[in-house]
Structure 1
Amino acid sequence: MLQERLERINELRKQAMANPEFTKSAQAHADAIKSEYHSAPTKRSRKPKSLSDIYQGYDFGI
């Protein structure tokens, strides 16, 4: 029973892969997924400040 089902699924897969409309649609779907996840690269606002930059101008009375 399981083997028959796997054979049927494989036959349907082969039919779909032979259909140019299906492959075109699958490629468009893959491109949409890529653009959704890779659309905006992460931007760093700027370099993190060093402690000397943060405390510049403070007098600690040392």
Structure 2
Amino acid sequence: RIFDPFFTTKGVGKGTGQGLAIARSVVVDKHQGTLTFETARGKGTTFIIRLPLVEPKSREEAA
């Protein structure tokens, strides 16, 4: 649910709930990566972003 647009745990007027939805869209949809998280109650949350490696284009391909 945390990656759903407009989902927020903040009070009214304290956020739009768009940040994680946009981050997921960029990482997963645009770059074919993964965005996961690990959470520990009372300790916090760690987000893990993994992006695939891409071979650099040759000068001929870049032109």
Normalised by the size of structure 1, how large is the TM-score? 0.25
Greater Rg by CA: 1
Which structure has more relative contact order (CA 8 Å, sep 6+)? It is 2
Q: Return the structure number with greater strand share.
A: 2
Q: Could you tell me the TM-score, scaled by structure 2's length?
A: 0.24
